[in-house]
Each structure stands twice: as structure tokens, then as C-alpha cells.
Amino acid sequence: MMMNRWMMMAPLALLPLAGCGTDDTQAQAADSAPQALVSETGAAAEGGAAVCTVAEASRPLPDAIHESSGVAASRAHRGIFWTHNDSGDPEVFAVDAAGRMAGRVRVSGASVVDWEDVSLAACPGGDCLYVADIGDNDAERASITVWRFPEPAPGDAQSRPAEEIRLRYPDGSHDAEAMFVLDGRVHVLTKGETGPIALYRAPAGARAGEAVTMEKVRELAAGEVERPQRITSADASPDGRWIVTRTLGEAVFHPAADFVSGGSAAPRRMDLAALDEAQGEGIGFTADGAVLLTSEGGKKKDPATFARLSCTL
């Protein structure tokens, strides 16, 4: 299989912001040599397995980020990624390569019920952050919300006004923690705790205003699943060829066209046990093909963490 250039890059550290020192980043990277994470089969990449290396082992996030539930890498601001808590104030946090707070931006016009994921994707006029307020532990929300707003600069105090894209499931309420944007359309993947793991897709051109009904694309599990198999985050690769989903201990790479059409192509599964995350919640691709992961702190007492993998697909 031919591989895009962004998929073939060797393991590299996240790039720091211009003007930031790199000594601490380099020292921490040296302390933890890259460690291979291989699929259950251990097969070579051409045989259907992905191989990743740990480019950045799990490290603490700033104290203000104690419930990191999603992660999205910036394209406009080198070395920056965005994350958020699942409760509290409507704000997103910019974090640099060394895990330092680079910005704290209030999302203008937004509110929080249960923020569970974030994606960076194209929108009219440029790139936007899409923040998924889709958590529903008791499966009782009449509608869910995706907040969309132009990507801010890390130093901004607040974002431009966010659009509220309200969505309904066609078959009742569900708990969900995973969302991605592909071909301009929001996709929500349910968790598998209050019902099946299923993929839903918003209509093309869904805008702020009245709630619109999503279409059910496919089921990945027919009923509720045990906690280790529940889906906690998802993302689409920048070139649109791959969808990655994650559970507490595994990353799963799906060919995007097959995944969103209900196909049956075998995914590539990665064991994340070596990262030793307390509660793995976030996953997102970077522009160069790396994969970022974030975790909540254990029972909200330990620091939330982030890690970075370099993968060949």
C-alpha cells in the first residue's frame, strides 16, 4: 500500500513555540527512548497492522486541565494543541510541546453540559474548532450540541462567537464521547455504555438554529459493551484517509471511506498499555501524521496527561 508523506515521518518530538526553550523537552525525551507499540497480531504494516512508537511518553498537563476529554492539533500555530475539560467553564486550553499552558480561551456564546471531544476542521473562511457537547450519562438529552468557532490564537482572551449546531439522534438518546468531522460533516460515535456503539452523521451544511436529525450510518457493536471497549474519542486524519477511534487502552485505525459507508475492512489495532494512562479520553492526528493522546487524571485526583505517537499506516 502506498503511504502518504505525512504517514512516513520518523518519530519526532512535538515542535515548541518559537522563542520557547527546548532543554527540558529534550531531556524528558532522552529519559524515555521510543518504545514500539504493536498490534495484537504483531504483523508488518503491509500485512494490516500499524506500528507506532512513543515519541513523547505520558506527561502531566497543567493543573487547570484536570478532565481532558479531547485533543486537536493546531495547524496555524506550530507546536500547539487544544484541549478542554468536560465540565466547568466554556473554555479551550492551548498547550505547547513541553506541556506548558500557552493560552486559555473562553468560547464566546457557548455553554457546557458535558464537553467530550474536539476536532479541528475546515469551515467557511478557514479552520474551526468543533467542540462536542455530547456526553449524556443517563441517555436522556433531547438533543446534543457541537459548538463551532474559528480557531483562536493561543493568546486570545476569548473566541469569536460560537455557532451552536444542535443535533438529534433518529432513534432516541445515547451517551457519546467521540466526534470527528469528515468532508465537512459532523460524525458522532456513541460510547457503548447506554446502548450499541453506533456511528451517526449530521446532514451536509448543518448550521446554527433548530436541531437537525442525524442519520444512523452503522453499528459497530450490537449492544452495550464492557468498560474497556467503550469509545472515548475519535478523529479524522488531515488527508481524510483514516479515522482513528480510541478506548481506555486501545487505538483503532479505520480506512475512512470504508468506515463511513458501513464497510467491513479490518481495522488496525494498537495496544496503548505502555502509556500507563489513568483514564484515556482524547485522540487526534497532527498535520505530520503523529497521534496525540490525552487522559483524565485518575478519579480527578491525579494530573491529566498527554502523549504523542508516531505511526506508520
**Cell numbers describing residue 48:** 494490516
- Does 38 have pLDDT greater than 60? no
How does residue 6 score in pLDDT terms, banded at 50, 70 and 90? very low
Predicted confidence at residue 13, as pLDDT, reads 30
Predicted confidence at residue 47, as pLDDT, reads 37
Predicted confidence at residue 12, as pLDDT, reads 27
How does residue 184 score in pLDDT terms, banded at 50, 70 and 90? very high
**64-95 pLDDT, tens per residue?**
998 999 999 999 999 999 999 999 999 999 99
Q: Taking the model in full, what pTM does it have? A: 0.85
**Buried (b) or exposed (e) across 98-124, using 16+ Cβ within 10 A?**
bbeebbbbebbbbebebbbbbbbbebe
Task: Over range 43-54, report the average pLDDT.
Answer: 56
What domains, with CATH codes, occur in the chain?
Answer: 68-312 (2.120.10.30)
Distance CA 251, CA 254 (A): 10
CA atoms within 13 A on the CB side of 189: 24
How does residue 17 score in pLDDT terms, banded at 50, 70 and 90? very low
* Of the candidate ranges 30-44, 100-114, 187-201, the one whose mean pLDDT is the lowest: 30-44
Average predicted confidence (pLDDT) for the chain: 85
